[in-house]
Amino acid sequence: MAKAKRISGMKCDGPATTGIKQVLVTRFEELHGWRDAALDWTDPEGVHSMRVASRRLRSALRDFMPYVRKRNLTPAFKKLRDVADVLGRVRDLDVAILALEQIEKQAPPKLSGGVKQFVDNQREVRERARKDLKATLRKSELKQLKSEFQAGIDKATASAESLLTFADVSRTVILERLREFERLTNGLFKPLDAEALHELRIAVKRLRYAVELFQQCWSRAISASAKRAARIQSALGDLHDCDVWIDTLGKQISGARKQKDEQYVAALVWLLTHFIKLRTKHLRRALLHWREWERHDTSGRLRTVLNEKPRVTRSRRKKEIAATQAPEVETERVEEAVTIVAPEEILPA
């Protein structure tokens, strides 16, 4: 997976709408740039990279909606969600099949046939998902989406008037995402509540993406929170995958029992047991990473960074430095001006 592209020419102390437009245009170009790689079935990382790019774009859109005329972006947002859904189906199956192929090697000989049958079924599902992805990513479709998205951004930001700077928006967004994450951390203490854990995973993912997006406006200390959030997200993501497979296998077992396919049922029960054990492992990881977050007071440190002055652009910084380095010149100019207009020299005694 490629790292998010740094927003070139970003002025954190500039108008919020200008920065918002820069971000959305850059993030869409990233998404579009992964199109060919996503359709290369020989390397599943292409789909993964395009999926992550779509997540970053949609996360940024969600963050910026309160600051733009959102109705101009709603149609494109829905289409982007459809693209993300198809990418997600293919990526989830890619990951699952790779994992199942390794699990298949561990299966007892008498169950290996049933496990192989399940893996083959997933390959068939993936082929259908890939066909859907190919249709969704047709060049004509993406070209139209790009045109609609660009027009939507122009309208959404052109008439939005605000005295806020991009740094002001970034501070508000990160703090909102942080509060959302903190509110949902109780889900970690409900280990059987898959929905609560899923909501927490989404919240920490949004916090991470927000920090990564805006970190160039703040001191480098902010990056530590993004890294710790990524660890929690990773553990919860693996846990969520297990929850999906536990649910899927439960349904498959019910169907196989109706068909009285005892060998297949036995293989599926073996797989179910495997994922239940694996889920517990990932839950422990998530708890450990959350404890690390708490031990380092990551939330407190993140708030401290956001209370500091944001970084200024290089051009403005140069002007500030120049102003502090040449006070004598400015003083001389003022004195000269005063001398020229001294009243005693131009009025009669």
**pLDDT of the chain, 349 residues: tens digit per residue:** 567 777 888 899 999 999 999 999 999 999 999 999 999 999 999 999 999 999 999 999 999 999 988 888 888 889 999 999 999 999 999 999 999 999 989 999 999 999 999 999 999 999 999 999 999 999 999 999 999 999 999 988 886 556 889 999 999 999 999 999 999 999 999 999 999 999 999 999 999 999 999 999 999 999 999 999 999 999 999 999 999 999 999 999 999 999 898 999 999 999 999 999 999 999 999 999 999 999 999 999 999 999 999 986 554 544 444 444 544 434 333 333 333 233 333 333 3
Q: Where in the chain is the domain with CATH 1.40.20.10?
A: 15-163, 165-311
HSE value, Cβ hemisphere, 13 Å, CA-based, for 157: 20
Quote the pTM value. 0.84
Dig out the tokens for 134 from the structure: 């190919």
**Helix crossing, 298-307 with 166-184: angle to 10°?**
160
HSE value, Cβ hemisphere, 13 Å, CA-based, for 4: 27
User: In whole angstroms, what is the distance from residue 223 CA to residue 229 CA?
Assistant: 10
Question: Got the DSSP string for 58-93?
Answer: HHHHHHHGGGS-GGGTHHHHHHHHHHHHHHHHHHHH
pLDDT at 159: 60
User: In whole angstroms, what is the distance from residue 306 CA to residue 217 CA?
Assistant: 10
pLDDT at 3: 74
From the options 2.120.10.30, 3.40.50.300, 3.10.20.740, 1.40.20.10, give the CATH code of 165-311.
1.40.20.10
User: In whole angstroms, what is the distance from residue 99 CA to residue 81 CA?
Assistant: 27
User: In whole angstroms, what is the distance from residue 204 CA to residue 232 CA?
Assistant: 7
Residue range 15-163 in CATH 3.50.50.100: no
10 touches 166 (CB < 8 A):
yes
State how far the alpha carbon of 221 is from the alpha carbons of 20, 176, 199, 226, 297, in Å.
23, 19, 27, 10, 13
